[in-house]
């Protein structure tokens, strides 16, 4: 059995924890947990993975720093080659790849993403795939919203999702819905 490691970092939104493994000197990100209003990320990580060991590496430290900067509002490009997509179903991988193409400062809807991946009647499937996104921030699932402009769910909570969208220049109407000025797909 391969050992999985975890490294926890601080952020303006409490903590985030990266679950990773190392094989033949290659790092593979298995999961990223964000803290939510109820639990810190390291508690969530330990509940999901019983035998993880705390460790770090230069690659993980650099990734953690980039995520910290992103969570402070700075634009970042992330290396998706580190992600272990084997933890995803085929449809989830398609959804995550489509989501990753949404540029900073833009949003899309679950329905538009479903159409983009040639599953036009699968908006709910898209929403579920994003709700289980194992790589939040690197795959920017905060950029997916409901067709009516409501923000929808997010692993780190709705306040975090709104703040991340605001960092990217997304505007909100007085009713709390996203202005659909920059819609992708």
Which residues are tagged catalytic? 141
DSSP letter, residue 172: B
Rama region for 152: left / alpha / beta (φ>0; ψ in -120 to 50; rest): left
User: The tokens 């969208």 sit on which residue?
Assistant: 165
Q: How many CB atoms lie within 10 A of CB 17?
A: 25
Distance of CA 87 to the CA centre of its chain: 14
CB 21 within 8 A of CB 14: no
Tokens standing for 9? 């970092």
CB 29 within 8 A of CB 138: yes
CB 36 within 8 A of CB 44: yes
What lies within 8 Å, CB to CB, of 150 at 6+ separation is: 176, 177, 178
């Amino acid at each position: 059995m391969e050992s999985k490691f975890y490294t926890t970092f601080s952020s303006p939104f409490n903590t985030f924890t990266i679950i990773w493994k190392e094989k033949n000197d290659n790092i593979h990100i298995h999961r990223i947990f964000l803290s939510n209003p109820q639990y810190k990320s390291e508690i969530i990580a330990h509940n999901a993975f019983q035998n993880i060991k705390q460790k770090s590496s230069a690659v993980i430290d650099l990734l953690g720093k980039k995520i910290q900067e992103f969570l402070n509002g700075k634009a970042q490009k992330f290396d998706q080659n580190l992600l272990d997509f084997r933890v995803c179903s085929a449809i989830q991988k398609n959804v995550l790849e489509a989501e990753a193409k949404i540029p900073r400062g833009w949003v899309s809807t679950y329905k538009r993403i479903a159409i983009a991946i040639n599953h036009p009647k699968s908006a709910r499937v898209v929403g579920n795939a994003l709700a289980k996104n194992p790589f939040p921030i690197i795959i920017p699932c905060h950029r997916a919203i409901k067709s009516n402009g409501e923000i929808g769910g997010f692993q780190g909570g709705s306040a975090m999702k709104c703040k991340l969208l605001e960092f990217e220049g997304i505007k909100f109407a007085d009713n709390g819905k996203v202005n659909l000025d920059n819609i992708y797909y």
